[in-house]
Amino acid sequence: MRLTLVVTCTLAVAVSKAVAAPPTTGLLVPGFSLGGLALGDTKATVEAAWGRAYGRCRSCPRETWYFNYFAFQPRGAAVELRRGRVAAIYTLYQPPGWRTKLGLELGDPAARVTSSYGALVRRQCRGYYALLLARGRAVTAFYVLDERLWAFGLASPGIPVCR
């Protein structure tokens, strides 16, 4: 009976750790959520959803957590915090399997962004640009590099969209 209890507890911990990780396939709901997280979520909510295996940016203006799929490789997602709550969420280095509700996927031609979401504001960043969709109290960013959709972002008003 004791062995059964130990095995059950071990499995419960393993399952909770497997569930609490950055998503390998994430969904962008413009103006609302990215990868299951929403603007305003608490640190505890982020850790419950994506786990505690994150790196902290030392040179970022706001507290930023990086969730990379593999150590020392940049692909994954990030969360910026303001006063302990999510102020921005974005993908890093075109992780595969991330898409929008309309089926737009990272890696798609940039023209699919505007054909899916209409005319968007273009913001030039260093080496890439962002197509911006303001909806509610959020700005959704579609990051474009070499005319391919490179990343998704979701930010609170006042958070810079260029990284």
Question: Band of the pLDDT at 8, cuts 50, 70, 90?
Answer: very low
Q: Is 118 left (phi over 0), alpha (psi -120 to 50) or beta?
A: left
Quick check: is 8 in a domain? no
pLDDT score, position 116: 96
For 113-143, give the DSSP string.
Answer: HHHHH-S-EEEE-SSSEEEEEEETTEEEEEE
pLDDT score, position 18: 42
pLDDT score, position 19: 44
Domain span holding position 57: 22-155
- Would you tell me how many other CB atoms lie within 10 Å of the CB of residue 154? 29
**12-63 tens-digit pLDDT:** 333 334 445 678 889 999 999 999 999 999 999 999 999 999 999 999 999 9
Quick check: is 133 in a domain? yes
Quick check: is 40 in a domain? yes
Predicted model pTM: 0.85
Quick check: is 6 in a domain? no
Quick check: is 2 in a domain? no
pLDDT over 50 (residue 2) = no
pLDDT over 60 (residue 6) = no
**81-138 tens-digit pLDDT:** 999 999 999 999 999 999 999 999 999 999 999 999 999 999 999 999 999 999 889 9
> Phi, psi at residue 117, to the nearest 5°?
-120, 0
pLDDT over 50 (residue 154) = yes
| Number of compact structural domains in the chain | 1
Which among 26, 34, 48, 50 is positioned nearest to 87, based on CA atoms? 34
